[in-house]
Structure formats: structure tokens, C-alpha cells
Structure 1
Amino acid sequence: MAKAHAEWEARQKERAEKLARGEAVGPEEPDPTAEPEVGCLGLLKFVLYTLIFVVLAGKFLTGSYLWEMEVPDIRQWIPTDQKLFSEQALLSYDGSVEGRPVYLAIDGDVYDVTAGKATYGPGGSYHMMAGKDAARAYATGCFAQHQTYDIRGLDENELRGLNHWKKFYAESKKYPKVGRVSHPPIDPMSPIPVHCDAKKAKKQSEGQKAVKKAAAAAAAKREEDAHSEL
């Protein structure tokens, strides 16, 4: 192979001399010992060079290698050591224990809000939401009265409000999800939390009375039908 390359170099030198004298020469001969570039390899090199150019151009023009594009928070997709909290355990993460993170829950999902300790920690405007699942308060705005995960009886607007806050925490880069909180089941016959707004509370009460009346009528009808079959 070395001999072939040396012979090719000699022919190249002879060709160059002829060109210098103005003599006619044939097409340039490729090096017979050179490894031919594989098509896929050439394509990969082109893509790599293009990518490097785009990244450097972004840094030069915008000051950002990613052209100021927002990068999704990959923490949302990386499996982590998600914990299952009891209500009592979650309560110990309300910010009152020095050195312990601040957690809150909404509709069962627990988030680490330590980055917003000025807001959720002791003395913060939303400290009452820390260490518990106050999903109903997010929906109704009754922060003092609705410190509960009971979301029965919410109207469409309130459900939209709850979903807004659930989405806010789920998509937040600042407050990562750390687990779930386990709640005891709610007795369906227990009273629904009274709304802090007097008008809504009255409407809620009337609605519950109508539901109970309809349930009682249905029960009486079933009992009557059962007796008639005897």
C-alpha cells in the first residue's frame, strides 16, 4: 500500500509539473490508498457540523445556546423515590420544624414548596396550606374554612379553579412532586362543608335538601314496590 501511495504521489507531482508548463493533462486521479468515506458517516458528520453551527450561532445572536427556548423540566418524567404520606406525617412538613422541607398537597398529590418558604412557611401568606391537603380551599377560596380534601358538591367554576391549581403545581419547575397523601374515605352521608360565601352557602343548603328529599322519595318508592310484590 505504501508503494502504491508513493507511485500516486509521483504521478501527482508529474501532473503538477505539466500544468505548470501549460501542457494538457487528464482528470485528477484520486489516491488509490485513501479509504472511501461511507455515505452514512458523511451524513452524520454533516448533521454534527450543522448542529454545532446552529448552537454557536444561537449563543452569538441571543446569548443562549438553545436560542432562548424553554427546556421542559425533565424531573417530571424521571422516576424518583415518590413517598406515600399519612395525613399525620404530612403535617410535620408545614415548615415549623427547622431544617425540614415544606410540603403541601392538592387532591392527593404532594409537592415540595420549600423554594417558596417565604410564602408557604411560618408567617407566609399561604402558610395555612402547608402540611395538609386543602384541595377544597383552592377551589372555593375559603382558605380558613375549607382546610379539607373533601371536594364534594363543587360547582363547575370551582372545579375549574381546582384544576387550574393542580395544573400549576404539576407543571411547576419550582415545586417538584414528592409523593401522594393517603386519606381516609369520606362518608357520603356526612354533611358537605359549608361555603364561606353566604349566598353560595344558602344555595348549597337548598341543593342538599333537594337531594335528600329525592333520595327519601326514591327509598319510599322502593319500599312501596317491595310491599306490593308480597
Structure 2
Amino acid sequence: MSWFKTSVTGEEPERYVEPDSTPRVQDPSIPNRMVVDKAANKPFLAYKAYRQKQEKAHNEWLERQKIRQEKIARGEEVGPEERDPTEPEEVGLKGLLKFFFYVVVFAALAGKLLAGSYTWNYETRLAQLKSYIPTDQTLFSESTLAKFDGSVPGKPIYLAIDGDVYDVTNGKAYQPGGSYHHFAGVDAARAYGTGCFKTHRTHDLRGLTEAELRGVQHWKEFYANHAEYKKVKNDGKDGKAKLKDKSEAKESTMVHEEL
């Protein structure tokens, strides 16, 4: 604390001198000057060395350019013009794509770490965007879907579950009088979760428990992966379905069996 000693005694503090044993290196900016090789000097020394290397490379390039111009003046054949090695490279399309790729990966990992989702919990909004994408599929209204309930001989039998329409004509249980005929010609997604086949023949899934929603998802996968039941079109729901009184729902379990 030299300043404290000066303020108390009035004497000048002793000047610190690096010992001769301290490692020293050549100062790249001043010839014949040695500087201490300590951590504080390393960034300066490294930058000076880099500048000297760049300057040397540039001068060598200028010399090659001079020789090339002389050959051209004499009419001699020369190769393609060499680019200045010290000139900064421009970021091309590949560089931009690489940059955006890193940004997307970083954003996804940050979302997983901070929000628990790679898409920052935007799955629902992304799913809603699909409804604006044009499709070549013919949409079924509820009244149109009802015409495919098996009551007309020779006409296919369709059912819908959560908006997806399937052709179940080959299933005997869906024929008139069959045990699952009540699913024909209607989107009864709610009934697949609750097991209330008479009162919950509606597509409205509001108010279902997680277990009931898992039941609906199970049956969606059942029809999607079935070898004989093929997906037909999307079911366009016309009008708003009314939610049945919960008191009408009975506790029941839907047996998963091959239909």
C-alpha cells in the first residue's frame, strides 16, 4: 500500500522492478525491446503478433500480384487471380443457414430447459394453424355423416372419432343390430372415454378427466392402426354440441376388444 506510506511519512515509495529472472519475450511492435511475459501482457503480445503476421501475408500477396501484372503485360499466360488472404471473408448463404440453424437449436434447447418444451409450449397454437392450410379432403357435416349409418343398403358405414372419419363397413358390430351400431354415422368421441353410449354420443370432450381423455386417445389409435378400417375424410362439425348433464353419466368401462 504505497499510497498509505506516502501519505503518512511523505516519502516516495520504492519503485517495483521486475527481477532479472522473470521470463521476457520480444516486443513485436518495438525492435530490440524485451517485455515481461506475464498474463497482463499476453493479449497485447498476441494481437501484435497477429497484426505482424497479417501484414507479412498482405505484402507477400502484393508482391505476387505485381509479378502477375508484369506477366500479363508481357503477354504471358497466368492463372486465376489470387484473393488477398488478409481480406475478411463475406458471409454467404451457407453461413447464414448455418447461423439460423444454431439459433433454432439454441432456442429449442432453451425452451426445453426453461419451459419444459422444445417449442416453448406453442404446440396448441401450431396445431391451430393447420386448420388454415387448404386441403383436398371433403369435409363431412354431422347431417351428412348421419347418412352413412348403415340404414341404406349398399351404402358404406362411416363413424367419426374426434374429427376423423373411418369406413367400418367390414365390421359386423357396426351393421344394423350390431353391438356397436350406435357409433355408426356419428362422432361419439365422448362416449369412447366415458363409456356412456346412450347419453354421450357427441364429439364434445369438454370436462373429461385425464383418464377419460386417454381412453379417447386409445380408440383413436385403434382405428388409425386397424388393418380393415380406413380413414376417409375429416369430419366438419356443424353447430355446437351441448354438453350433457354430468349426473346422466354412469360409471362404466369400455372393454377394448377386436370389433
Indicate the structure (1 or 2) with the bigger Cα radius of gyration: 2
TM-score normalized with structure 2 length: 0.42
Higher helix content, 1 or 2: 1
Larger RCO, structure (CA 8 Å, separation 6 or more): 1
